[in-house]
Amino acid sequence: MALTYDEAIDQIFSIFRTAWNAKSAAIVGYIPEVRWPGVEEPDTPNTDKFWVRVSQQTVKEGQSTLRNDGCTRYTTDGLLFIQLFCPKSDSKSMEKGRKLAMLARDAYRGNSTDGKVWFRDARIKELPPEKDWYRFNIIAEYEYDEAKEA
C-alpha cells in the first residue's frame, strides 16, 4: 500500500504519541510535554519537568518502479528525531531519562505501520548536558512508498 507524504508523517508520529501517552507517566509520574513540528509554543519548558521535541526529516526520495502499470512508485527514506530533555533538578533524572529514551526507541524497533512505513536502526544517543537539562536523542530511520497515478 502506498502512502501520501501527510499520511506517512501522521503514522510515524502516531506510533510515538501512542507509546508516550500509554507508558511515560509510569516512569516519571506524569505525561511529559511533547512539542510537535509546526506548533509554536510561546513559553520555555518548565526546567523542573521532562519534555520532548519530535521532528522528522526526509533524506531522499527516489523513483523505485517504472510506469508499467499506470503508476510510478517512489521510495522515501528519512529520519525521525525525538529530543529528550531531563531536568537536572530531579535527583533520578538520568535513570528516568534512560527509561523514557528506551520507551521512545522501542516504539520503533522492529516496527512498521499498517500503511507500511518501515523503521530500522532505532537508537539512543546520549548528549552532553546543558545548563538545566540532561539530554538524549532518539533516532530512527524510516522508509515508505508513495505512488503517483498516470
- CB-CB contact of 133 with 85 (8 Å): yes
Considering only the top CATH level, what class is 5-38+48-149?
Answer: alpha beta
Cell 518548565 sits on residue:
46
pLDDT in tens, the chain (150 residues): 678 899 999 999 999 999 999 999 999 999 999 999 988 877 888 899 999 999 999 999 888 776 666 677 889 999 999 999 999 999 999 999 999 999 999 999 999 998 799 999 999 999 999 999 999 999 999 999 987 765
Domain residue spans of the chain: 5-38+48-149
Calpha distance 100→92 (Å, rounded): 12
The full DSSP string for 77-100 is EEEEEEEEEEETTSTTHHHHHHHH
Q: Residue 97: is it exposed, middle or buried by C-beta count within 10 angstroms (0-12/13-18/19+)?
A: buried
